[in-house]
A and B are shown apart, each in its own frame.
Chain A
Amino acid sequence: MLNKKSIAGLRINDIVLIALMVATLEAVKIALAFLPNVELVTLIIVLFTRHFKGKIIYVIPVFVLLEYLQWGFGPWTIMYCYIWPFLALIAYIFRENNSPFFWAVVTGIYGLIFGMLCSLVYIFTDSVSMAVSWWISGIPFDLIHCGSNFILALILFKPLDKVFYRKSGFI
């Protein structure tokens, strides 16, 4: 009975898994919120995409919606609609790569261009000069983001990858 297809082709255990993944993302985000520009959301989305593949397309919208409910709406509302799906796409393309150094470089580059990607919204809501100015003034934060992503991926990729590998086989 539990294996019957439900809404949108998702089984009950798929729905539960998606909920757990969203909860994990929220938990790691809140846990490191006191450290500006240091976050594990990037690495966790990479690992979720590697191991749970297509389910990430349900996880990210729910995660983003929870963020809206928590923090309200603003320019970042539109940023989040493409920032995390973009990361999931990159992770999906390179999902077969098992090198911690590779993912450290990828997440490092992602952290570095994070501000630039976010500033794209201001091209449409304001002007190109506003977008460029906003991006440039945030570069120090992007450099921190790059370094923290790189180090966290280098250290945590392998142990977390093992955990998700075991769990993805279990589901």
Chain B
Amino acid sequence: MNNTKQSNKKPLIIGAAILVVLIAVFGTVYFFFRPKTVSGEKSISVEVVYNTGASTVYSHNTDAEYLRQALEEIEGLTIEGEESEYGLYVKTVNGVTADYEKDGAYWAFYTNGEYSQNGIDSEPVHDNDSFSIKYEKANAE
């Protein structure tokens, strides 16, 4: 009877150990490979390209570590959206709303010419970074 109980507990202990090890491994991977940030005075540019094709460029100096904070500091630039588990989902830039449900439109973020790999809450800001916020449509030809 005791042997049966112990053999029943063994898989649970192994499973719990696997979970703990995985948590440790994932935490370590994140610690060493997470997007690096730089604090201090940084000079960045932000280009907003609207649905009409018109664009506005902002130059800004910031100490922000992530893009969202930097964008919120820029005078004349307003961003609005919905908070999600991945941070702010931007829906409106300078009063222009991209309604994905209506026509597949969205605001796409680019960092130094490449599609941003993180949400604006976790996109790092480095000195001389160039960001673009472009009005785009899904499945656009």
Contact = CB atoms under 8 A, between A and B. Distances in A.
A37 B85 contact: yes
A88 B19 CA distance: 19
B27 A139 contact: yes
B94 interface: no
B12 interface: yes
Contact of B35 (A105, A112, A137, A146): A137
B19 A108 contact: yes
Nearest to B119: A137
Contacts, number: 60
B11 A102 contact: yes
A139 B26 contact: yes
B140 interface: no
Contacts of A141: 85-86
Contact of A137 (B23, B101, B122, B138): B122
A101 B11 CA distance: 11
Contacts of B104: 72
Contact of A130 (B22, B34, B117, B138): B117
Nearest to B14: A105
A39 B59 CA distance: 41
Interface residues of B, number: 25
Question: What interface size band does chain A fall in?
Answer: 20 to 34
The secondary structure that dominates the B interface is helix
Contacts of A139: 26-27, 29-30, 34
Given A136-B34, A141-B86, A102 B19 contact: no
B23 A105 contact: no
Interface string B75-104: 000000000111000000000000011001
Contacts of B101: 72
Contacts of B15: 102, 105-106, 109
Interface in A125-155: 130, 133-134, 136-143, 146, 150
Interface of B: 11-12, 15-16, 18-19, 22-23, 26-27, 29-30, 33-35, 84-86, 100-101, 104, 117-118, 122, 138
17 contacts: A72-B101, A72-B104, A99-B12, A102-B12, A102-B15, A105-B12, A109-B22, A113-B22, A130-B117, A133-B117, A137-B34, A139-B26, A139-B29, A139-B30, A139-B34, A143-B23, A143-B26
Given A136-B30, A140-B30, 19 more contacts: A36-B84, A37-B85, A72-B104, A101-B12, A101-B16, A102-B11, A105-B18, A109-B18, A113-B22, A133-B35, A133-B118, A134-B117, A137-B34, A139-B29, A139-B30, A139-B34, A142-B26, A143-B23, A146-B23
